[in-house]
């Protein structure tokens, strides 16, 4: 009888960094809440059921009040590149930041970021019912032939992964990782700062 002695290795992974900075989240929450309460933070074409600083006069990465967060984001990106085996100095010190407050029923459709190297988010407020982020397998060729799944607990079968917001939680990933914010069910706003690093 023929014996099968096989090792399965994983190639072409998409890395994602995560961790917590609760102190930074708590420090910036009141400032972001005040900014997002301003009528000028309303951009319904980008964020129909919430508030955002995207495409508004609030360029928060350039504001002195956000220097600590901006510097931290750049260092976070530098460490992510290092842990992935890439040169830290390949990142430009270009940080773009967007503050968002998602209300009940709101969502953000599937998208990737562009004109950057890394993207990420840090959650400042994550009340019960806050919507998760769905990340999609970035290898499009896999969609051409879906294999029948025998073991749904095996990560090699997953088409999507989900991250659940928590205060201070941050995630960082390469620009090609497609993601969407699922429908929000919290009765108070889910508040986050999304960012890109050039």
Task: List phi, psi (to 5°) of 114.
Answer: -140, 170
Residue 6 lies in a domain: no
> How many folded domains does the chain comprise?
1
> Model-level pTM?
0.93
Distances (CA, A) of 34 to 38, 53, 56, 104, 191: 7, 12, 15, 19, 12
Residue 3 lies in a domain: no
Listed as ranges, residues in the chain with pLDDT below 50 are none
pLDDT score of 94: 93
Residue 149 lies in a domain: no
Residue 151 lies in a domain: no
Residue 174 lies in a domain: yes
Residue 27 lies in a domain: yes
Residue 95 lies in a domain: yes
pLDDT score of 121: 98
pLDDT score of 1: 66
pLDDT score of 117: 96
Which domain covers residue 72, as residue numbers? 17-140+156-197
The CATH number covering residue 31 comes to 2.60.120.620
Which pair of tokens denotes residue 81?
Answer: 């590149």
Helix (H) or strand (E) holding 23: helix 22-36
pLDDT score of 37: 92
Query: How many residues belong to the chain?
Result: 198
CA distance 65 to 52: 17
Residue 188 lies in a domain: yes
pLDDT score of 28: 98
Which residues make beta-bridge pairs with 170? Answer: 19, 122
């Amino acid at each position: 009888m023929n014996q099968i002695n096989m090792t399965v290795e994983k190639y072409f992974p998409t890395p994602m960094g995560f961790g917590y900075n609760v102190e930074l989240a708590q420090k910036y929450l009141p400032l972001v809440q005040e900014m997002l309460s301003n009528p000028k933070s309303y951009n319904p074409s980008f964020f129909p059921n919430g508030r955002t600083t995207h495409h508004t006069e609030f360029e928060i990465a350039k504001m002195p009040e956000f220097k600590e967060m901006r510097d931290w984001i750049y260092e976070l990106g530098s460490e992510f590149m290092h842990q992935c085996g890439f040169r830290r100095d390949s990142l430009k010190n270009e940080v773009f930041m967007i503050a968002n407050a998602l209300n009940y029923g709101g969502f953000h459709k599937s998208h990737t970021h562009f004109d950057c190297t890394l993207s990420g988010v840090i959650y400042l407020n994550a009340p019960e019912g806050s919507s998760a982020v769905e990340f999609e397998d970035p290898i499009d060729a896999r969609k051409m032939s879906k294999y029948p799944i025998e073991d749904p607990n095996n990560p090699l079968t997953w088409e999507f992964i989900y991250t659940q917001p928590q205060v201070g939680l941050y995630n960082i990933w390469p620009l090609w990782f497609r993601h969407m914010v699922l429908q929000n069910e919290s009765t108070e706003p889910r508040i986050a700062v999304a960012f890109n690093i050039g």
